[in-house]
Amino acid sequence: MIRTRFAPSPTGYLHVGGLRTALYCYLFAKKNKGRFLLRIEDTDRERFVEGALENLIDTLAWVGISYDEGPYIQSQRTEIYREHVQKLIDSGQAYRCFCTKERLDEMRENQTKMKMAPMYDRKCLDLPESEIQEKTKAGEKFVVRQKMPYELIKFKDLIRGNVQFDGKTIDDQVLMKSDGFPTYHLANVVDDHLMEITHVIRGEEWLPSTPKHIALYKAFGWQPPEFAHLPLLLNADRSKLSKRQGDVSVEDYIKKGYLKEAIINFVAFLGWNPGGGEEAEIFSLEELEEAFSIEKVHKAGAIFNLEKLDWFNWRWKKRLFNLELEKIAKEIDPQVNITSGRKDQLNFVFSKPENEKEFITTRGKKLLAMCNNLLPKEYSSDESKLLKALVTIEEKILKDPKETLAHLNFYFRLSDYPQELLTHVKMGVDLNRAAASLKAGKEDLEKLENWNLQTLRETLMKTVSRLGVKNGQIFWPLRAALSGLEFSPGVFELAWVLGKEETLKRIELAANKI
């Protein structure tokens, strides 16, 4: 059975890179019907941060990543590591080192001056047992170092392919510190073996540690797991993602109001892409479980693009909001079969005018809750108009509620606009065509008694047919007249929101400009 683990250190709030590692480990296990474990590697007591463990667990729960086993706490397993390090000492694969900090500093300084890579010189490797016993009895502090094999260490990384290191260039790492706590390297390997981890998925920064770990597996006589090293997360300037250039903890983005669905979706695409373009990038956690493949994780660093996160957040707001729409539609008409497309939403309202009030009340009030404190009080004096108006600019609100007023103002305050706005060369709308279209549209709308989206569309489509012109030659000047803007909702929606009196008034104002 496939078994993966996420093994963070509680040295701060969960980093977005850590969330990506957890997510990929989780998805790989779920895709392969395996198990996902959580292990807390807290043996570095000097860097331990109070509250970090609780934040880690809470954040994983918030985004929906559940673990099948754990959390295992390494600081509660120290006796296990001591037993295993003693086995390495007994087999000659590790040794006690009594060198002081001062000697080690001097050694490294001399090596640097000689342009050598700083490495332990193995002074304590062959100490006689009698000297070891004497130093131990005297209370001299020591660490336990791994005896690195001087041989070529090879392995196949699931992302990077064949990798090899020369054992002679790798330091005799410390396995057990003088305080009796294991280092990351020892505890990591021992736990991965005892917990039967089959695949170690972690960040690229751990790649240089892999030969040390493989050597440890060999020293114990164990079969190593498969390794996959994820690409680095980079800033836009391709420097390594760091706090100096912006927020890096998941907590920061939660506080800013990003949806958990957007965060997970965004993080999944930091180094992985199933292909298919932008429209094939929206995945729920459940959908990611089906789609994820380690083979499609990239080698190159992944750019942390906040604009992309904003895009995911907007798309997810739309998706979740449209799911609510489908629920509303079903409550109004259990027989309706509605998709999430904007056209289908409006067609639902077009199809049965009697549904309009309930639909707009429910839909509009949800939108109003997002931006109510940003709107002038006078806009609420005509609630029906306001709710309809909000529905027509729904996508703008979902993208950025703070911009609502800018997209809404024209419904309540028509600004002065140039005559040229009523024309459109590519559509074949000159001033004469605009004048004729405004006149015909006004005449037909004046006769309309039942003012709703369906009847407005039917009426203006008949206007197009009566004049024998293209849709845009009628709709462009009318839309410009009603909004005073180059870009706005469609003409049916504008007239529907403004109501008959205001619509005819604005068309008359436009006609007077020509």
Angle between helix axes 260-268 and 16-31 (nearest 10 degrees) is: 80
In SS3 terms, 238-273 reads as CCECCHHHCCCEHHHHHHCCCCHHHHHHHHHCCCEC
Rounded to an integer, what distance in angstroms lies between the CA atom of residue 210 and that of residue 185? 9
Q: How many angstroms from the chain centroid is the CA of residue 497?
A: 37
Whether residue 422 contacts residue 466, with contact meaning beta carbons closer than 8 Å, is answered with: no
User: In DSSP terms, which residues pair with 72 in a beta bridge?
Assistant: 39
Q: How many CA atoms lie within 13 A of 461 on its CB side?
A: 7
Report how far apart, in Å, the C-alpha atoms of 483 and of each of 346, 458, 463, 480, 488 are. Answer: 20, 21, 20, 5, 7
Phi/psi at 450 (5° precision)? -95, 100
Rounded to an integer, what distance in angstroms lies between the CA atom of residue 295 and that of residue 228? 10
Q: Would you call 243 a catalytic residue per the annotation? A: yes
The two most distant CA atoms of the chain are separated, in Å, by 111
Nearest CA-CA partner of 252 in 401, 59, 11: 59
Indicate which residue of 87, 243, 357, 439 is catalytic: 243
Q: Which residues are catalytic?
A: 243
